[in-house]
């Protein structure tokens, strides 16, 4: 009855009659049926194809850090050079992603996804046959360039296919990438490590499958461009409900949270195998299995974060995800092998639930700028991962990998900055 009363009241008010509080209540009430109707139109086949392509894309990309022990021995690399490979990959992805987002916001390119995957395929084949360290860097740069197109454009298509369930759509899209990142080290352990660097070329089949699927998605994307442009134009004309100063402060806080999350993840994704081998004396193949457990937990946490944010509010998810992981990261450097594995699973599960919530939160903060926001946040995440890998690699060369993990354990404390984020969810505002 209360909901019906609010809707009746919304229809009878004139533009100059309501108070500020009443108007806010009416806006929140009006959003409920609209979102419900839109949710019925969620294009799950497109989301599932996107998730599959994300799985294949990130599986290919995860091969690079997964075979670091092999490359380190074959090319006599230092930890600093290993970090430089990651930095090259992450920077080519991070610096280009915002530019791709800005350009495609103005001029959508439906088949750019397939073209980006072709670039990834070229980098993969070069990685399989590289004979020098500069060739490894070039291969990493090509894979990163393909990623710079894939992530912002795929995030845009996921939002287009969401039917209003933005958190769910981003989680479905992103969980494919996390599963691919988890499978990559497992495949590297049982295929690449026993057979050598040249066997990386076998994964070209995965890239070809992704190109075929992305071409199909490009056709659907092309058919949606007209309605999508109209919706984006309406969102831009409505503008943000927050002043510019609040938006700038909020973006800074979100950037710090991304820094905390991805700097810590860089310590695990790039050096976890070395940490386990050095501290517990296990083999490279065994360490890849432990990395798989961690990355599998990351996939599960990613899938949960978006829908939970849709239901209870994205700020709460960010609180729990970033700051809530702190006790476990502090315990990790002091645990034995069994507890290290268990703690890494908990850390991956909790910490990974934040990104979908952060991305959708930022897109709601700046309406009509989906590609730009996705490009900035994916790019910044990749950049922080790359810089983190390079810095931590240099640090590990000087103080040891175990000391690095003891320092990184404090990074989630930056999650306290979540206090400064405004509530963007309509039901929280009411």
- Kindly list the domain boundaries of the chain, sorted by start residue: 40-429
**Are the CB atoms for 147 and 93 separated by under 8 Å?**
yes
Close Cβ partners of 250 (under 8 Å, ≥ 6 residues apart): 242, 365, 420, 421, 422
- Chain-centroid distance of CA 366 in Å reads 19
Among 14-18, 191-195, 392-396, the range scoring the smallest mean pLDDT is: 14-18
What does the pLDDT read at residue 239?
A: 53
Q: What is the pLDDT of residue 26?
A: 38
Q: What's the token pair of residue 320?
A: 């729990």
**What's 324's DSSP letter?**
G
- Higher model confidence: residue 149 or residue 13? 149
What does the pLDDT read at residue 295?
A: 78
Locus of tokens 């900035």: 376
- Measured CA to CA, the distance from residue 178 to residue 386 in angstroms comes to 17
Of 99-103, 171-175, 216-220, the range with the lowest mean pLDDT is 99-103
**Nearest CA among 60, 78, 341, 293 for reference residue 192:** 60
* Residue 39 in this model has a pLDDT that exceeds 60: no
Contact present, 62 and 266 (Cβ < 8 Å): no
- Give the mean pLDDT of the chain: 78
Distance CA 11, CA 2 (A): 15
Percent of the chain predicted with pLDDT > 90: 15
Return the pLDDT at 27. 34
Confidence of residue 70 (pLDDT cuts 50, 70, 90): confident
**Domain range 40-429, its CATH number among 3.50.50.60, 1.10.1240.10, 1.20.1250.20, 3.40.50.300:** 1.20.1250.20
pTM of the model: 0.64
Helices (H) and strands (E) counted in the chain, each on its own, are 19, 0
3-state secondary structure of 336: coil
Q: Cα–Cα distances in Å, from 233 out to 283, 335, 367?
A: 56, 53, 10
pLDDT-based confidence at residue 360 (cuts at 50, 70, 90): confident
- Residue 296: pLDDT above 70? yes
- Whole-number Å distance between alpha carbons of 124 and 241: 45
User: What is residue 231's predicted lDDT score, i.e. its pLDDT?
Assistant: 64
Determine the average pLDDT of the residues in 227-235. 64
């Amino acid at each position: 009855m209360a909901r019906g009363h609010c809707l009746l009241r919304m229809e009878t008010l004139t533009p100059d009659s309501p108070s500020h509080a009443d108007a806010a209540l009416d806006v929140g009430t009006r959003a409920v049926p609209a979102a419900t109707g839109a949710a019925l139109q969620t294009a799950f086949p497109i989301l599932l194809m996107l998730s599959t392509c994300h799985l294949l894309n990130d599986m290919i990309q995860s091969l690079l850090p997964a075979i670091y022990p092999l490359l380190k021995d074959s090319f006599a690399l230092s930890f600093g050079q290993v970090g430089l490979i990651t930095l090259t990959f992450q920077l080519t992805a991070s610096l280009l992603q915002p530019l791709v987002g800005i350009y495609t916001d103005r001029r959508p390119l439906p088949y750019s996804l397939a073209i980006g995957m072709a670039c990834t395929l070229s980098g993969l084949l070069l990685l399989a046959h590289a004979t020098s360290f500069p060739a490894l860097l070039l291969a990493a740069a090509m894979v990163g360039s393909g990623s710079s197109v894939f992530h912002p454009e795929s995030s845009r298509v996921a939002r287009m296919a969401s039917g209003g369930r933005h958190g769910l759509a981003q989680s479905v899209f992103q969980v494919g990438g996390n599963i691919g990142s988890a499978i990559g080290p497992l495949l590297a352990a049982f295929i690449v490590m026993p057979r050598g660097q040249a066997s990386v070329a076998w994964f070209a089949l995965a890239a070809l499958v992704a190109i075929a699927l992305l071409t199909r998605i490009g056709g659907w994307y092309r058919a949606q461009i007209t309605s999508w442009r109209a919706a984006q134009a309406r969102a831009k004309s409505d503008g943000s409900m927050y002043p510019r100063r609040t938006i700038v402060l909020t973006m800074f806080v979100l950037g710090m949270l991304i820094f905390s999350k991805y700097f810590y993840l860089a310590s695990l994704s790039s050096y976890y195998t070395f940490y386990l081998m050095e501290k517990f004396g296990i083999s490279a193949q065994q360490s890849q299995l432990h990395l798989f457990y961690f990355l599998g937990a990351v996939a599960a946490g990613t899938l949960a974060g978006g829908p939970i944010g849709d239901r209870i509010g994205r700020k709460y998810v960010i609180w729990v995800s970033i700051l809530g992981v702190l006790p476990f990261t502090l315990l990790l450097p002091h645990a034995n092998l069994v507890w290290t594995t268990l703690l890494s699973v908990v850390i991956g599960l909790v910490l990974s639930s934040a990104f979908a919530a952060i991305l959708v939160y930022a897109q709601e903060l700046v309406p009509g700028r989906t590609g730009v926001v996705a490009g900035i946040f994916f790019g910044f995440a990749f950049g922080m991962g790359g810089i983190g890998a390079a810095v931590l690699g240099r640090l590990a060369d000087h103080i040891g990998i175990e000391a690095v993990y003891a320092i990184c354990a404090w990074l989630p404390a930056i999650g306290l900055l979540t206090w400064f984020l405004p509530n963007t969810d309509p039901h929280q505002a009411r």
